Amino acid sequence: MKTGLNRIGLALGLALGLGLSATQAMANGAWGGGDLLRRRFADGREYAIQIVQGVAQSPFQETRAELRDWISAHHAELVTDLAQSMQVWTEASQGTCARTQYRAAAPIVLSFQTCYRTSSTEDAAWLLIHESVHHFNIVDEVFADEIAGAIMKEWKAAMLKEMPICKNQNNVVANGLLGSWEAEMDLAMRMNPEAAAKIDYAELSFVEDSSAAKLFTGMGQCAFLAGHLELRMRLREGEGFTTKIERSPFVLVEHNGTTVLVFDEDLGARPGRIDYHPSYLQLARANEAKDDLLFFGGDHGWEPHFPFRRKR
C-alpha cells in the first residue's frame, strides 16, 4: 500500500542518502501509513501490559464488585494473555477495528480499514484489553467494555497519586538520555550565543532510578524515564570562573506533543518538596551513539536550546 506518507518518507530517505532501494524500503515497511497504525497497536500492547501490571495493587474502590472480583481473579492471566495474543492485520473491511475468538491467546484480527479511528496508543491499549477479556470466554460486549474501562480509570487515578513508568522503546529521548553529556560549544555559539558567552564548560549526567518518579505526584501521566540528574557548570564571571553543581530527581514525560524533562526547581535543595520545573528536550541520534546530540531547551517551546554531545 503506497500512501502519501510512504512517498514522502522514501523521498526523504533517498535525499538523506540512506541508500535503501525502493523495494528494500517497502519490504522494511518503515514508512507506510498502515505501518504507523501497526506500530500504534504494537506500542498499545506494551502499554496495555504496563497498565494492567500497574493497577495490580490498586483498590478499585469505585468499581462495582462484580467487575472488581473478575479483575482480581484474572489479573495475572490477563497480563499473560496480552503478551501472547498475536496481532493479525487485514486489508479487508470488518464491522469493528478488532475481532477475536473466545479462547486464551487467540489471535486478534485488526482491520486497516476501521482501526485508523484508533488515534492513540492509549486507545489501542484500551481496545486490546477489551479483546483479551473476550479470551476468557466473555461474550458480553458490555462486560468487556466495563472491565477495560475500569482498568483504564484505575490507571488514571494511579497516575494522579504517583507517577508510574511507561517505557516506550520508540521514545527517542528516553532511550538515549542516560549517561553523561558535555556542552558542544561550537554549536552553542551558533544556536545560543548569549548562554554560550557565559558558559565555559557544562556537563549533564542522567542516572536511571524508577523510584524517583514517586516524588512527582498529581501530574496525571506516566513517565518514560525517571532518575537523578547532575549539572556541572563552569561559568565565566569577570576575569575568573565560578563552578556550580546542581542535582535533582527528574522524570521524562510527554507534553504538548514533545518530550519534556521535569525536575525540581530547587534541584533537591528542599527534601520532601518538589517544585516542578519543565525543560523541553530533544535528542538527535547519530550513526554512532558517541556522536548523538542532546538539545536542552527552556520551559517554553520558543526558547533557544543548548546543545550537548556525549562525553568522551
What is the contact surface with Zn ion in residues (CB under 5 A)? Answer: 141
Give the residue with the Cβ less far from Zn ion, 14 or 67.
67
Give the residue with the Cβ less far from Zn ion, 140 or 291.
140
Give the residue with the Cβ less far from Zn ion, 141 or 299.
141
Work out the burial of residue 237: count CB atoms within 10 Å of its CB; fewer than 13 is exposed, 13-18 middle, 19 or more buried.
Answer: exposed
Q: How far is the CB of 111 from Zn ion (least distance, A)?
A: 14
Minimal CA–CA distance to 38: which of 173, 170, 174? 170
Give the residue with the Cβ less far from Zn ion, 149 or 298.
149
Q: How far is the CB of 85 from Zn ion (least distance, A)?
A: 13
Dist CA 196 CA 294 (whole Å): 15
Q: How far is the CB of 174 from Zn ion (least distance, A)?
A: 32
Give the residue with the Cβ less far from Zn ion, 109 or 202.
109
Q: How far is the CB of 130 from Zn ion (least distance, A)?
A: 6
Q: How far is the CB of 74 from Zn ion (least distance, A)?
A: 16
Given a contact cutoff of 8 angstroms between Cβ atoms, the answer to whether 230 and 247 are in contact is yes
CA 122 to chain centre: 11
Give the residue with the Cβ less far from Zn ion, 25 or 108.
108
Give the residue with the Cβ less far from Zn ion, 9 or 149.
149
Q: How far is the CB of 30 from Zn ion (least distance, A)?
A: 31
SS (H, E, C) the chain: CCCHHHHHHHHHHHHCCCCCCHHHHHHHCCCCHHHHHHHHHHHHHHHHHHHHHHCCCCCCCCCCHHHHHHHHHHHHHHHHHHHHCCEEEECCCCCCCEECCCCCCCCEEEEHHHHCCCCCHHHHHHHHHHHHHHCCCCCCHHHHHHHHHHHHHHHHHHHHHCCCECCCCCCHHHHHCCEEEEECHHHHHHHCHHHHHHEEEEEEEEEECHHHHHHCCCCCCCECEEEEEEEEEEEEECCEEEEEEEEEEEEEEEECCEEEEEEECCCCCCCCCCCEEEEEEEEECCCCHHHCEEEECCCCCCCCCEEEEECC
Give the residue with the Cβ less far from Zn ion, 104 or 195.
104
Q: How far is the CB of 131 from Zn ion (least distance, A)?
A: 6
Q: How far is the CB of 119 from Zn ion (least distance, A)?
A: 19
